[in-house]
Structure 1
Amino acid sequence: MSLFDVLGSKPRLRIIQELSSEPRYVTELAERVGMDGKSAVHHLDVLEESGIVESYHVSRRKYYRLQRTVELRASPPPERSFCLHTDAIEHAASDDTPAD
């Protein structure tokens, strides 16, 4: 699936927006974006397969966090530019997130 296909989904964009503030576990994330857990897991799987988010476990909860910065820019004439760019996010070794 192309990055355009991945980001062409409103539910996935809402998930990315929510994860931009902090990592969230699946149930919490589903409630915050207004979808059922099964749909949230589907969209999170797509985002994880594309390398935009990553998951980790804390006890029995599965958390997701952004793994990449996603930037989309478009400008009208005369520039006529369109750019979709992603960069990996480096998570500090000292953060509170336990290893998988």
Structure 2
Amino acid sequence: MIGDDEGSDLLDILGNRNRRRIIGLLREKPCYVTEIAERLMLNPKAVIDHLQYMERAEFLSSRTDTRRRKYYCLVRDISIEIKVAEPPVMMQQEFSSHELFLQSVLNLRSLLDARNRHIETLEYLESDLDAALDDLVSTSKEILAGETEINLITALCNSDLSVSEIQRITDIPVSLIEHSLARLEGGGIVTRHGQKYSVREINGKRTKR
């Protein structure tokens, strides 16, 4: 039995499309913040907010691996049963059974077509993202100092971030983040705007995201 407070949290979670998408992804396997952001094409800061909300509501839990990446997983799955009241008899009689059936077929076909289009687009983008990440790794060998800086650049390609925000997303120690950012800034790879860091502008234009 779900209490009033828990029921309210559940409605807040299910009422947000991106939280539903995150839950769907975590049904497949535990994921860390950057992985969720890249697969769902979301801002890492927004992903953190959603994950922290669902963790406070005790729908998620987290653990940190040996590489200091924080993985999130479902504590319990969510199953909703919806009961729909029968329409008044007069309303049912306005349409024949044949007409109602055809309308149901058209509605189902329309939704399936829309879903397939989205799946094809996402698969295409996932392939492009994988290729872009491979290009980043292969071209960074003489530029970046290992996986830490690759993770920093990947995070900054999503959004301008502060040191504390980068730490929450990547779980890299703050001292190492500050050292790497200083080196990348000195190399003209990232720039700083107040407390935020971003990838360097190229020919007056911000690197595409």
Q: Where on the TM-score scale, by shorter chain, does this alignment land: which range?
A: 0.7 to 0.9
- The Cα of 1:49 is off from its aligned counterpart by 0.7
The residue that corresponds to 2:77 in the other structure is: 69
8 Å Cα contact 1:6-1:50 kept in structure 2? no
8 Å Cα contact 1:25-1:64 kept in structure 2? yes
**Length-normalised TM-score, structure 2:** 0.36
Q: Is 2:20 aligned against 1:10?
A: no
What are the ranges of 5 or more consecutive residues in structure 2 without an aligned counterpart?
A: 87-209
What are the ranges of 5 or more consecutive residues in structure 1 without an aligned counterpart?
A: 79-100
- The Cα of 1:69 is off from its aligned counterpart by 1.6
Matches within 5 A, 1:49-60: 49-59=56-66, 60=68
1:31-87 deviation digits (Å, cap 9, x = unpaired): 111101111000000110111111100021000000012111113235xxxxxxxxx
Identity %: 38
Q: How many matched pairs?
A: 78
Q: Looking at both structures, which has the greater relative contact order when contacts are Cα pairs under 8 Å and sequence separation is at least 6?
A: 1
- Distance (Å, rounded) in 1 between the aligned partners of 2:22 and 2:48: 11
8 Å Cα contact 1:48-1:54 kept in structure 2? yes
Matches within 5 A, 1:1-100: 2=8, 3-59=10-66, 60-78=68-86
**Length-normalised TM-score, structure 1:** 0.72
Moved over 6 A (4+): none
**Paired residue type of 1:24:** C
- Distance (Å, rounded) in 1 between the aligned partners of 2:54 and 2:83: 26
More helix by share: 2
Root-mean-square deviation over aligned CA pairs = 1.3
**Paired residue type of 1:8:** G
- The Cα of 1:6 is off from its aligned counterpart by 2.1
**Paired residue type of 1:61:** R
More strand by share: 1
